[in-house]
Amino acid sequence: MLRWVRQQLGFDPPHQSDTRTIYIANRFPQHGHYVPQKFADNRIVSSKYTVWNFVPKNLFEQFRRVANFYFLIIFLVQLMIDTPTSPITSGLPLFFVITVTAIKQGYEDWLRHKADNEVNGAPVYVVRSGGLVKTRSKNIRVGDIVRVAKDETFPVDLVLLSSDRVDGSCHVTTASLDGETNLKTHVAVPETAVLQSVANLDKLVAVIECQQPEADLYRFVGRITVSQQTEEIVRPLGPESLLLRGARLKNTKEIFGVAVYTGMETKMALNYKSKSQKRSAVEKSMNSFLIIYLIILLFEAILSTILKYAWQAEEKWDEPWYNEKTEHERNSSKILRFISDFLAFLVLYNFIIPISLYVTVEMQKFLGSFFIGWDLDLYHEETNQRAQVNTSDLNEELGQVEYVFTDKTGTLTENEMQFRECSINGIKYQEVNGKLTPEGFSEDSPDGNIHSLMKEEELFLKAVCLCHTVQINADQTDSADAPWHANGIASPLEYYASSPDEKALVEAASRVGVVFTGTTGDSMEVKSLGKPERYKLLHVLEFDPNRRRMSVIVESPSGEKLLFTKGAESSILPRSKSGEIDKTRVHVDEFALKGLRTLCVAYRRFTPEEYQEIGKRLHEARTALQQREERLADVFNFIERDLELLGATGVEDKLQDKVQETIEALRLAGIKVWVLTGDKHETAVSVSLSCGHFHRTMNILELVQHKSDSTCAEQLRQLAKRIKEDHVIQHGLVVDGTSLSLALREHEKLFMEVCKNCSAVLCCRMAPLQKAKVVRLLKTSPEKPITLAIGDGANDVSMIQEAHVGIGIMGKEGRQAVRNSDYAIARFKFLSKLLFVHGHFYYIRIATLVQYFFYKNVCFITPQFLYQFFCLFSQQTLYDSVYLTLYNICFTSLPVLIYSLFEQHVHPHVLQSKPVLYRDISKNAHLGFKPFLYWTILGFFHAFVFFYGSYLLMGEDTSLLGNGQMFGNWTFGTLVFTVMVITVTMKMALETHFWTWINHFVTWGSIVFYFIFSLFYGGIIWPFLHTQDMYFVFVQLLSSGSAWFAIILIVVACLFIDVVKKVLYRHLQPTSTEKAQMEEDKGSVSSACDFAESRHRGEDNRQLLDPSSLPDSTYVH
């Protein structure tokens, strides 16, 4: 019993074996001591909270924030001891902030719940009790037989039992899992492949034993034991038998499979990397400022407490005749009294910490992020895709980027491959009008016919047509002769390919006369010059990144056993023993220099004895339960040797639109661009030159093909020396994956020094994790630069998640990068608008917002501190408690929020056309120590002017009121508060460059609201207030002409110095941004034009209030 309780509490987890046993259709054995295993249900959970844990969990998370926890402590202190202000003054703002944040987080989590319910409630068909039963996805159990139809997504991880094809094969695309758009072939074991009906499957008696769930998408080891009459047949199961949740069925009418992993144990769920919380530089600055203000607060509280006791050392002030102490007060401990007084001062001054700063920042980020989605300049018409924001927490980080790490294929290029040229038997060919033409030959014979292929050319094209994983649209393969016209030329077949390269090659072969027409069973059909040929497919040696090649073994119509291999030249040429190896190597380098992607093609003939040996070895390796991958790799290496080289292919990947201009703009903005690609060295360099990443005038340094630590280190030292000697010209660095691994292992500092002195870096032959390592290396270097990674494929996900800002390109390689990114755009060219306009605006807005918040709270609480010198440090409050509560929530909150949403200090066109303006805000320039000090000193200066100005002008005057009465302390406090509300609101107005009707409404509306509220609050006796110190105070204050004079004089005195400072700095030391503003002002012809332009610029911002107007908007930044 005790053990059961421990297990339920999670202290003593039940023992779990390394394998799981699954009884198909849940037919458990009827005899023996069978203990059913417990498996997870099929529900996917991506949400953070439930109805029950939302309140405690959310409160716990919110009170981990320094400011929230601090205000909670202050609130509790106010409840426990006699403090000068009511607990409501800190309790209400805290409640407001906690509630608003909880609503925002609750709403975001509700959206996640909604998405989960949609997935978990999707209809599925399961075989139960001899028939197909419709149920919900969440009800699938391990062992259930599930039916999936064409184009449907697999709801669980299934082991394939049968399909509508005789051989039990099916085609699947895993684009949503790993970004690969290829069709992968999966095969059922022969014993279950024949069970194509529900009735037959219901009679199946079989057991699957397989490993426990693991995250590796490409690894699965298991076996199936099928009971047939008296015998049991055991078959191995591998990745080719497993259909993963999230993948989609293609080219197959339906399949049946048995559920082996469900819910959060599926490979898709195990691969879901919860994003580590990225924090922006602004948030870190904010926390530093909070700590400084906490120190100021503690200093003021301690000073006030010490001065109080110093003052009370004199008898007459310790216990004046009008305020005698009680017996209890006389006998209480001095230490306790000191602590109590210190806490009381802490409560009195606590508003110097701006609690509403967090909630305003949250609202600004959340609402501001809509502008990116609404920007028509970031909308791609051809694909109907608009920019997408996945994380609103990093908007301002877009304005701080110092390094951009970009993928090449699909990010800088279109990922649309076009066959350009090839090398066959040492001769270069190009495709001209659907014919292969040797280089240098002109295609001028009009009657040249399709039957002019030489033997070597035909063999090369057949190799291209047979060695691939290309599939044909099922509808086209139903009738073998349908795609052919009478003249023997093929109408275009629709190919599905494992990679854009393979598709381009098979399509090119079909255009020049050798057409792949599909597979039936274990045969591959090719029409060579209109003549059909059938090759029996014996084995497929799958592509893997280590071998970097793939092969097929086929039996030709004449009965010959042939191996066709294609792959990277570095993996094919060393294994070739004959053919034009040297000429082909030269051609491959020439293709690469033109920016083409290259592949080499080779073949080998087997004798019957050789083939028998190969078949035996392959079978042994494929049925091994232990070390299957290593054994297969050994066998593949044994087979793929002594090759005869046929030739090489060159395929072009077209550059995206405006890539060159974008990279140049990034460089002007002071951003360094690094290209990280898996492509070969020459291809990558060629593309770098054509897209402007490398300039022709650049000195290109290379760190490639190093096998040992010592040679790598020596080369790095030489490069560092060369850079120092030639410091005048720009340098570009090329590094490959293996050299990079060596450089990062021992010589990280030296490598970083070389990289930082290069204006462009290209890393080729990179593995996905190496990309992330490079980003981390830069990110954690002593300067701690802000990094941005941009890519389109699943291989870019680790890099996107590692960088400060991750951007996904909505390309052709699935949605994995987009789903894991912070922002998603359709094209690389949109990056410039995203950084130079949106990033610039967001940073300026939030920097001003943060500084202004601290400024207005210094203005607010310093007069309270100064007042203590005039009231014997008796902790008398200067302002009424209602004013204390509403200052940050109502009177001064809206102008700064609207500013932080709509401010455009420079026209967007100017920002985009002058990328150099981006340098003005780099390295957190507006939130550094100097600007922070300026705003803080300004706050203290204004506070002194409010207090002493009011005191000098009004404090000594005895004839202020009509009846000859003097001012009281509440009237004085209200005068200071009125001057303060007007000044801080006007200060925000001075900071605003871009006025919309909303800015006018909230700026002047805030001041008007304060006056109206004060008249109502002080003009009526409210029954629910036990004391009403403010009764008629405000009305009497406003009835005095001298009070009005004082208000105007003090406000002007405060802001005059600020205006003078702005004017002098603008004319004597203008920044690039201020120069651009002045040029923009000169460019305006008249005030009428300005007004029209302002309306034009306002289009963007009005969309926040009226998103429906988006399609009609004609304004483009």
Reduced to 3 states (helix: H, G, I; strand: E, B; else coil), residue 208 is strand
Q: Are 706 and 742 in contact (CB under 8 A)?
A: yes
CA distances from 262 to 19, 124, 138, 688, 1099 (A): 15, 14, 9, 45, 49
Reduced to 3 states (helix: H, G, I; strand: E, B; else coil), residue 123 is strand
Nearest to 472 by CA among 419, 526, 528: 526
Task: Give backbone dihedrals phi and psi of 247, rounded to 5 degrees, phi first.
Answer: -75, 165
Nearest to 734 by CA among 703, 755, 707: 703
Q: Are 610 and 587 in contact (CB under 8 A)?
A: no
Q: What is the token pair recorded at 98?
A: 């906690």
Continuous segment of H or E residues that includes residue 247:
none
In whole angstroms, give the CA distance from residue 603 to residue 456: 12
CA distances from 869 to 320, 863, 937 (A): 17, 10, 21
In whole angstroms, give the CA distance from residue 443 to residue 529: 19
Instruction: Write a three-state SS string for 697-728.
Output: CCEEEEECCCCCHHHHHHHHHHHHHHHHHCCC
Task: Give backbone dihedrals phi and psi of 765, rounded to 5 degrees, phi first.
Answer: 55, 45
Q: Are 39 and 142 in contact (CB under 8 A)?
A: yes
Q: What is the token pair recorded at 540?
A: 């497929």
Continuous segment of H or E residues that includes residue 835:
none
In whole angstroms, give the CA distance from residue 899 to residue 893: 10
Torsion angle (degrees, nearest 10) of CA 469, 472, 478, 484: -120
Active site residue 407: yes
Q: Are 650 and 660 in contact (CB under 8 A)?
A: no
Continuous segment of H or E residues that includes residue 794:
none
Catalytic residue among 407, 653, 736, 880: 407
Reduced to 3 states (helix: H, G, I; strand: E, B; else coil), residue 315 is helix
Sign of torsion, CA 982 986 987 988?
A: positive
In whole angstroms, give the CA distance from residue 442 to residue 379: 44
Q: What is the token pair recorded at 911?
A: 């920002």
Task: Give backbone dihedrals phi and psi of 601, rounded to 5 degrees, phi first.
Answer: -125, 135
CA distances from 101 to 64, 397, 512 (A): 13, 21, 64
Q: What is the token pair recorded at 259?
A: 């559920």
Q: Are 359 and 77 in contact (CB under 8 A)?
A: no
In whole angstroms, give the CA distance from residue 172 to residue 181: 10
**Active site (catalytic) residues:** 407
